[in-house]
Structure 1
Amino acid sequence: MRAQFVLQEIWIGLRRNLTMTISLVITVAIAMALFGTGLLLRAQVNASKGFWYDRVEVSVYLCAKTSSNPACQRSDTTEQQRDTLKKSLEDMPQVAKVDYESRQEAFDRFKDRFSGTPGFVAATKPGDIPDSFRIKLKDPSQYEKVIQAITGRPGVDQVINEREILKKFFKILGGLQWAALMIALIQVIAAVLLVANTVRLSAFNRRRETGIMRLVGASNTYIQMPFIMEGAIAGLIGGLFSAVLLVGSKMLLIDRLAGNVGFATQLGWGTVVAVIVVSICFGVLLCAIASFLTLRRYLRI
């Protein structure tokens, strides 16, 4: 097979169907960018889960005069109750460390954590945050045993497991990931249909040339290769554009999300490059396979 002839036919096909080729490139770029963004979000969520789930704590909030829990009877936890609770927690085999945090200490930590939202801090008073015990577990997956053992004890207002809060947050991120992948799937279907139409139109425009080639004994592979390569090149160009979009997604979406929510584990560029390579290869294969199947299914050349 002469490479010069194949390249010449590819250029003719792309030039004749320029509008549809541009539409295909744009569709593939968007589809692969969304596909890659979904993969990046998945990688970020998995990395963050591994980091935060090993560091979550169980917070035991003590009774205060402002507590809504009827068991607190609108009174503060006594010193004796607090000492008893601390000893009980320290004696639990699941507990690695117990730290007592006063209202003022909790308020100071609250101000540092939300220093970027001064209006929120100004609306909160030191007395709004009760005394608490912050419990570090040896195995974070054993939090239920600790919660069951301490809930309802005298002086306890409520027990909050940070792991459950993180689960809800990561569930939202997981939803965003699947939304991106579902939209990418729709775009992939659109790309396949565009490839089919582009190949059929290109073959129709060159039906005379392909007919002559068949008469002189050209093989099916020799005749079909330019059409398949047209789709593959359009997929490659779309994949390269998606790489630019993925770099922007990493800088403008993933990194900002990680900074705003305090992710301690940010995706490295190695992961982004791997996702870009996968997206480009997927785009090329998608268009090449769609072109091949279209030729076999609809066209007699």
Structure 2
Amino acid sequence: MRLGFVLSEMGAGLRRNFTMTIAVVLVTMVSLFFFGTGLLVQKQVGILKGEWYDRVQVSIFLCGDDSPVDRCPAGAVTDDQRTALQAQLEADPRVDRVFYESKQEAFENFKETTNTSITDNITADQLPESFRVRLVDPEGYLAVSDDYLSSPGVEDVPDQQAILQPLFTVLNVATNIALGLAALMLLCSMMLVSTTIRLTAFSRRRETTIMRLVGASRALIQLPFVLEGVVASLFGGVLASAALWAMVNFGVSRLQNRPGFTTRLIDTGDVLTQTAPIIVGVGVVFAVIASLFSLRRWLKV
């Protein structure tokens, strides 16, 4: 009986404030869409870091005959120095694998990635030999670089991750902007839910006063109002999830399916199993908080 009463009161409130309810649904949808976009961008940044950082190798360039004196005061690397450095790298627990690249191998790789008009004027003796090191934790690059930069026979340990850092900086800024807009929109959504519930409670203040006088509990009186905000926010969350799914399915997935594109991108599974439950849950929680806050004044007897 009480369940039927609560549902009937909720339905009556939604019908009486149909226009405001639609506004709550739309504002909640937009705010949760931005929030979900921020979550997806964060996930994509994590995927790119994990995938691209694993591809980055520490390059330890050895001294050669043409190396600058300030970096290689003892001249070209000796066989003993090369052997000792390789043994040190292989014993380092931070190192996963070590690859030695001779001058000839460096020259062959250089020819594969450089225009022939440049390689025609370069010989193998002009390129440095090096060790290519794959780390167990790619983000520990700086510590490894500092340790081996001063080793005998080492000319330079360039920071290859610096090439990727600007990209991740841009992606992180985009994430923060999306989450900032989401926070602002969520605040607007809470204010709109609170205003809608307050207007509904004010228009029915005589009914609620009578219910309290005849012994109805505060929870029974508040529940229909709270459910109105929850239902509106729930619809907004579902619509936001559908919009995110469409964006990923018809936008990101098409990019993923292009020939030669190997980087893993977020997919619809990430939306349905991870992002959608979070944004729907956040929408419902915010609606409950806003509803209870707005009811504290109008349901006092």
Shared fold per TM-score greater than 0.5: yes
Could you say if the C-alpha distance between residues 255 and 138 of structure 1 is closer, same or farther in structure 2, counting changes exceeding 3 Å?
same
Could you say if the C-alpha distance between residues 146 and 18 of structure 1 is closer, same or farther in structure 2, counting changes exceeding 3 Å?
same
Structure 1 residue 276: deviation in Å?
0.5
Match of 1:204 among 202, 205, 213: 202
The TM-score normalised by the length of structure 2 is 0.73
Structure 2: distance between partners of 1:259 and 1:165: 26
Structure 2: distance between partners of 1:128 and 1:290: 72
Whichever residue aligns with residue 287 of structure 1, its letter is A
Q: Deviations over 1:275-301 (max 9, x none)?
A: 211111111121022101210145536
The TM-score normalised by the length of structure 1 is 0.73
Structure 1 residue 13: deviation in Å?
1.4
Structure 1 residue 207: deviation in Å?
2.4
Q: Deviations over 1:161-183 (max 9, x none)?
A: 22233333223222222221111
Whichever residue aligns with residue 98 of structure 1, its letter is Y
Structure 1: distance between partners of 2:38 and 2:228: 28
Q: Deviations over 1:125-149 (max 9, x none)?
A: 6579995657223444255544674
Structure 2: distance between partners of 1:263 and 1:92: 35
Is the 1:239–1:283 contact (alpha carbons within 8 Å) kept by the matching residues of 2?
A: yes
Greater Cα shift, 246-255 or 283-292: 246-255
Structure 2: distance between partners of 1:128 and 1:19: 75
Q: Tell me what 1:291 maps to.
A: 291
Is the 1:232–1:284 contact (alpha carbons within 8 Å) kept by the matching residues of 2?
A: yes
Structure 2: distance between partners of 1:190 and 1:254: 29
Could you say if the C-alpha distance between residues 267 and 283 of structure 1 is closer, same or farther in structure 2, counting changes exceeding 3 Å?
same
Structure 1: distance between partners of 2:118 and 2:146: 28
Greater Cα shift, 136-145 or 233-242: 136-145
Could you say if the C-alpha distance between residues 138 and 208 of structure 1 is closer, same or farther in structure 2, counting changes exceeding 3 Å?
closer
Structure 2: distance between partners of 1:234 and 1:131: 67
Q: Tell me what 1:26 maps to.
A: 26
Say yes or no: does 1:136 pair with 2:133.
Answer: yes
Q: Deviations over 1:100-146 (max 9, x none)?
A: 55466335346xxxxxxxxxx99x96579995657223444255544
Structure 1: distance between partners of 2:151 and 2:290: 63
- Please give the secondary structure, in 1, of the residue aligned with 2:27: helix
Structure 1 residue 269: deviation in Å?
4.3
Structure 1: distance between partners of 2:212 and 2:198: 18
Structure 2: distance between partners of 1:258 and 1:128: 39
Q: Tell me what 2:265 maps to.
A: 266
Structure 1: distance between partners of 2:289 and 2:12: 21
Structure 2: distance between partners of 1:251 and 1:128: 49
Is the 1:81–1:155 contact (alpha carbons within 8 Å) kept by the matching residues of 2?
A: no
Q: Tell me what 2:49 maps to.
A: 49
Match of 2:192 among 183, 191, 194: 194
Q: Tell me what 2:177 maps to.
A: 179
Structure 2: distance between partners of 1:241 and 1:276: 10
- Equivalent positions of 1:1-301 (< 5 A) are 2-59=2-59, 71=68, 90=86, 92-93=88-89, 96-100=98-102, 102=106, 105-106=109-110, 108-109=112-113, 131=127, 133=130, 135-139=132-136, 140=138, 141-142=140-141, 144-146=143-145, 149=148, 159-251=157-249, 264-267=263-266, 269-272=268-271, 273-297=273-297, 299-300=299-300
Unaligned runs of 5+ in 2: 70-74
Structure 2: distance between partners of 1:239 and 1:298: 27
Structure 2: distance between partners of 1:175 and 1:285: 27
Structure 2: distance between partners of 1:143 and 1:215: 71
The number of equivalent residue pairs is 278
Could you say if the C-alpha distance between residues 70 and 62 of structure 1 is closer, same or farther in structure 2, counting changes exceeding 3 Å?
closer
Structure 2: distance between partners of 1:225 and 1:138: 57
| Aligned alpha-carbon RMSD (Å) | 4.0
Structure 1: distance between partners of 2:57 and 2:257: 21
